[in-house]
A and B are shown apart, each in its own frame.
Chain A
Amino acid sequence: MAGARPAAPERRRFTLSDRQVGILFMLPFIVTAALFMVWPVVEAVRMAFYAYNPLRPDDIYWVGFENFERIFDDPLFWESFRQALVWTGWSILFQTVLGVALALLLNLTLPGMAIFRGLLLFPYIVPTVVIALNWRWIFNSEIGIVNHALLSAGIISENIAWLSTPDMAMLSAILLNVWKYTPFVVICVLARLQTIPTELYDAAKVDGAGAWRRFMDITLPMLKEVLVVVIVFRTIWTFNKFEEIYLLTRGGPGTSTFNLAVYAFEEGMANLRLGVAAATGVVMIALLLVGTIIYVRVSGFGREEKTA
């Protein structure tokens, strides 16, 4: 059969009917994306310029930039913004350090390692509602096991009100985030670690480099790329996280654990100001686009595609 092939190998992929198949395959995605991604985003931006109360749907009017002025004048917006930075910064720091440490540990070849790997990835699939409920239970100030453990270990002398004092509530939320998403860092780093050639380490050992030197000179530079990507992704997602905070603390006590997502939700659901919620969303989109551009730059997304 090979002899019957046309001489021109340029006929790579397409005949006319082939092209039609291609468009046919693409069509469901285009329709779905247009209907459920593009339309809502357009709506989101449009809504930011209207005053709209969902309980009075006919009472909708154009307000220009008033929604934006309103949020920029709102101290709660800035408080949420600052708290989102705190929440994101600490979460990412803990996740990255712990994630790299755990990945190094899991990269060792010891018998039974597969079991540890499996169990340590498990938190990622646990529903946020479940872990938020568990957190409220184990961090309960009167009957929670965490206070009991700390008391009996002598670390604290009286019960800590984990969820009802501002700093502790923020800390609990950060711990929850770290618990749930460190596996993400572990998996990404572990995948990269397994591609580092062992010869590099052998050579360094021969040269007399200690474990710490080998980590600093070989492992860390090799991980740089994947870490940047992971950190950018996690920063964008963590900054905009809603459920982890809302389900644990409802933004409280008071407004001490609000981030922008909780702020937008409360404006939309509790205060019924969908326009203001949308304006907050637009600010979030703008911040997120900056993050995405950084990601595209550092990951070489698109460059790779041109050569493919």
Chain B
Amino acid sequence: MTRRDVMLRLFLYAALTAVTFLVCFPLIWAFFTSMKPKDEIFLWPPTLWPSTWTLENYRALLVGRDAYFQAGGSSGGTPPPSAFFLDWFWNSVIVTVCTTLITTIVSTLAAYSLTRFSFPGQRAVPYLALVGYMVPSIIFVFPMFLVMVDLRLTDTLLSLIMGYVCITLPFSMWLMWAFFRGVPVEIEEAALVDGASRLRVFWEIVLPTAWPGIVAAAIFTLIVSWNDYLFGRVFMNSMEKLPLTVGVMHFFDGTHVDWGLMMASSVLMTLPMAILFMLFQRHLVAGFGAGAVKG
């Protein structure tokens, strides 16, 4: 390696590190802010590294509710929004998991059917998925809300699940469709000729082959339903039934903003996605390649 190559390499690493730092900075800053006591958060000039480390912000979110009720807060007035944090968290978990299960199963079955069988109207389905994929949730949300009113489902977690299935199904379908088109039919045909039933072929040959695609579709569905704000905002009323994203915005409603609390909830809200991301990064990239993203 010549001297010039070494310099070039150093320069490239420096550039990459700088970009990566800029990209990660908002979250790094959120993390350190969440670990600071209140008076230190408002220090000017601001410091990155907390001089005193504290978990008080996390404690307020995770056990704040018990503390509030033990202090006799139930006797009057409404509890502070932070008392609902755990409720919101579980609501989001339930809704996200249910949505992902439904969307992934429905789209896997449909995409398989679409690539292996022929039936009238078959050609229209990918176009339907494409349009559904393009339509933003703001267009769906009000008519969906009316549908929920008709079904008497407003302010229930079920309505959220249905809303998220509706926005995630098209792209999940799209991704699974791309995957199944790439899986050769010869092995399946051979097994069918040898007398295996279609269901058995699906279960024992198709599913294992399509597994990476299914995982990618499931993760994208998870991300979209965990991150959504709009449906929760329009469909839900009761404080204890909100999803995390809508609930956390209630921290802004008071006269002063508790940034420590806010940053702690940011960290807790990002954590599950970050873990998923680290575990399944390769699948995600594969999914991007097949065009299965909504954003």
List the interface of chain A (C-beta within 8 A of B).
1, 5-6, 12-14, 17-19, 21-23, 25-26, 28-30, 32-33, 35-37, 39-44, 47, 54, 57, 102, 105, 108, 110, 116, 118-131, 133-135, 137-138, 142-143, 145, 148, 152, 179-181, 184, 187-188, 191, 236-237, 240-243, 247, 261, 264-265, 268-269, 274, 277-278, 281, 284-285, 288-289, 291-292, 295-296, 301-302, 305, 308
Contacts of B263 in A (CB 8 A): 133-134, 137
* CB pair B288 A36 closer than 8 Å: no
* CB pair B113 A26 closer than 8 Å: yes
With A138-B26, A285-B139 already in contact, 18 other A-B pairs whose C-beta atoms are closer than 8 Å: A12-B189, A22-B116, A22-B118, A26-B109, A28-B105, A28-B110, A37-B166, A47-B142, A47-B146, A123-B23, A125-B223, A125-B273, A126-B273, A131-B26, A148-B45, A148-B46, A241-B136, A301-B130
* CB pair A25 B110 closer than 8 Å: yes
* CB pair B169 A29 closer than 8 Å: yes
Residue of A14, A137, A278, A296 near B117 (CB, 8 A) is: A14
A267 CB, nearest partner CB in chain B, Å: 10
Q: Does B1 contact A (CB under 8 A)?
A: no
A181 CB, nearest partner CB in chain B, Å: 6
The 6 closest A-B CB pairs, nearest first, are A22-B117, A29-B110, A43-B143, A25-B113, A36-B166, A240-B136
* CB pair B284 A121 closer than 8 Å: yes
* CB pair B44 A143 closer than 8 Å: yes
Residue of A1, A22, A127 near B270 (CB, 8 A) is: A127
Residue of B20, B118, B162, B169 near A120 (CB, 8 A) is: B20
Give complex CA distance A120, B23 in Å.
7
Residue of B130, B163, B198 near A21 (CB, 8 A) is: B198
Contact with A along B93-117 (1 / 0, CB 8 A): 0000000001001110110111011
Give complex CA distance A211, B100 in Å.
46
Chain B contact residue count (CB 8 A cutoff): 100
The closest CB in chain B to the CB of A285 belongs to B139
Contact with A along B17-61 (1 / 0, CB 8 A): 001100111110110010000000010111000000000000000
Give complex CA distance A274, B142 in Å.
7
CB-CB under 8 A for A237 and B266, given A57-B149, A126-B273, A184-B288: no
